Chain A
Amino acid sequence: MREIEVSKITDVVEKLCIDANEHLPEDVKCAIKDCRACEDGEIAKGILDNIIENFEIADRECVPICQDTGMACVFLEIGQDVHFVGGDLSDAINEGVRRGYDKGYLRKSVVKDPVRRGNTGDNTPAMIYTEIVPGDSVKITVGPKGFGSENMSAIRMFKPSHGLQGIKDFIIETVETAGPNPCPPMVVGVGIGGTFDKAALLAKKALMRPLDSSNPDPFYADLEKEMLEKINELGIGPQGFGGKTTAIGLNIETLPTHIAGMPCAININCHVTRHKTEVI
């Protein structure tokens, strides 16, 4: 049994909130630059140049890449031999978010009630996802999620008879409906299988996976490639002004599911697909 002080979790979450909001992951930067090299329209090229200049300014000056510094999605993979001491784990995570959003001059974008609204003033509570895994370490990922893109996400409970074609059509339909709203070029996270809620979680996890990686199952790796190509034939383009680059990446995550169903969730993200990880 390894004891970990929860104050350590607070420190790491604070740091990751700031880091993730100021520095785009290298795989995302590369994907944007690769798309810029393939783009031929004048407006599309200009937009992608500005997007590249933007993340370079954020890197250099340590300022937020985007003003929507998101809801703090905090993923913890907790080794089963870990024992947290010194306080409540959720409180410690929220304290990390509170400090990170204050010290990093990040925007406080959380309201305390979905219907009655009212800003909480410190960007808490975080959306916390925990998973128990073997071992005695804790892997923490902070993925700030903006809502321009979150709002364009969708979930559908398919009949098994809809098959692969149903999934393919749903992905295209969701991206097309999103159009210019989620600040394209976008990143598309697809979750297939599990239950209603697990499919949505898979879609969110798909957005945390590097864009230069593939699903380990060749069937889904091929589907990722095929759907990214199809999306980029839609012509929506950077910011929706027309062009080749509608999406810079598409990741699929799956789980077994029930004989009667085929849930599919699509979580849309923008070109500012942020996440930073640290292992304690």
Chain B
Amino acid sequence: MAERKITLPLTEKLAKTLHAGDRVLLTGTIYTSRDAGHKRMCESLAKGEEIPFDPKDATIYYVGPTPAKPGQVIGSAGPTTSGRMDAYAPTMMSVGARGMIGKGARLPEVIDAMKKYSGVYFGAIGGAGALLAKCIKKAELIAFEDLGAEALRKLYVEDMPLVVIIDSEGNNLYEEGRAEYLKEHNK
């Protein structure tokens, strides 16, 4: 199946056209955050404060890149395990953040929130940090500099190769892909 090019922001309309198993090339602005950054943002939201970027239709990439070498936009930048952000993802979606890029399984409560807010969970290839860095054309540190690799960055990506793992209806490639393989090979 051919890859489909999509451009952010991830509006509700765009989200609803994406289905588990779709291979996409994503272009647009995304924000990086992982454990410590999510904890801080959710603490701010709980106090009624703003977070460092506008969450409406935003896509968050779960990544902690390596430091950029001289001449590089960013260092190696593959996804981290998304499950560690499960405690925060429903809160982030409740304020408008719709896209998540990571790898690994999600809890049912995250999938429920995705159905409620038309969220999409994309998979980037875990362990392909050198390749994924090539798609990142701009990187700007916007908050939490003290967190080092976990600081919040605004990235501009072009044709980032992703696979839709869980769509806004809750269909899950981790279940469907494996089931399909087993069906094919146990005939």
A67 touches B163 (CB 8 A): no
With a CB–CB cut-off of 8 A, which chain B residues contact A243?
Answer: 177, 181
* Chain B residues bordering chain A, tally (CB within 8 A): 48
Contact with B along A105-132 (1 / 0, CB 8 A): 1111100000001010100000000000
Q: List 15 A-B contacts (CB under 8 A).
A: A50-B131, A64-B130, A67-B149, A68-B78, A105-B67, A108-B148, A181-B81, A181-B103, A234-B178, A239-B123, A242-B176, A242-B181, A243-B181, A244-B185, A272-B127
Cα(A11)–Cα(B43), bound, Å: 44
Please name 5 further chain A to chain B contacts, defined as beta carbons within 8 Å, in addition to the given A235-B185, A239-B163, A241-B177, sorted by A numbering: A53-B131, A67-B129, A105-B67, A151-B81, A241-B165
Contact with B along A141-177 (1 / 0, CB 8 A): 0000000100100000000000000000000000000
Q: Mark B119-161, 1 if CB is under 8 A from A, else 0.
A: 0000101111111011000000000000111000000000001
B107 within 8 A of A: no
**Cβ < 8 Å to B, chain A residues 54-108:** 54-55, 57-58, 61, 63-69, 105-108
Are A66 and B125 closer than 8 Å at their CB atoms?
A: no
User: Chain B, 96-131, contact with A by CB distance < 8 Å: what is the 0/1 string?
Assistant: 000000011100000000000000000101111111
Asked whether any CB of chain A lies closer than 8 Å to the CB of B1, the reply is yes
Nearest A residue to B35 by beta-carbon distance? A117
Which of A55, A106, A270 is in CB contact (< 8 Å) with B66?
A106
Asked if residues A179 and B174 are in contact (CB atoms below 8 Å), the reply is yes
Q: Which residues of B contact A183 (CB under 8 A)?
A: 103, 125-127
Contact B128–A50 (Cβ < 8 Å): yes
| CA A55 to CA B127, docked complex, whole Å | 9
Q: Is the interface of A mostly helix, strand, loop or mixed?
A: loop
| Residues of A contacting B105 in the complex (Cβ-Cβ under 8 angstroms) | 179-181, 240
By the criterion CB–CB under 8 Å, are B134 and A57 in contact? Answer: yes
Kindly state the separation between the CA atoms of A54 and B130 in the bound complex, as whole angstroms.
6
- Which B48-71 residues have C-beta < 8 A from chain A? 63-69
Q: Which 7 A-B residue pairings sit nearest by Cβ, starting from the closest?
A: A242-B177, A183-B126, A181-B104, A242-B181, A54-B128, A54-B131, A67-B129
Q: Inside 8 A of B161's CB, which chain A residues have their CB?
A: 50
Q: Is A138 an interface residue (CB 8 A)?
A: no
Beyond A66-B127, A148-B104, whether A46 also contacts B23 by CB under 8 A is: yes
Chain A count of residues within 8 A CB distance of the other chain? 49
B177 lies within 8 A of A237 (CB)? yes
What residue of chain A has the Cβ atom nearest to residue B75's Cβ? A105
Q: Known: A105-B75, A107-B66, A107-B67. Contact between A63 and B103, CB under 8 A?
A: no
Contact A54–B148 (Cβ < 8 Å): no
Given the complex of chains A and B, what is the CA–CA distance between A241 and B1 in angstroms? Answer: 14
Q: Which A residues, 239 to 280, have Cβ-Cβ distances below 8 Å to chain B? A: 239-244, 270-272
| Interface pair A65/B76, CB less than 8 Å apart | yes
- Do B130 and A270 have beta carbons less than 8 Å apart? no
Set of chain A residues within 8 Å of B72, measured between Cβ atoms: 63
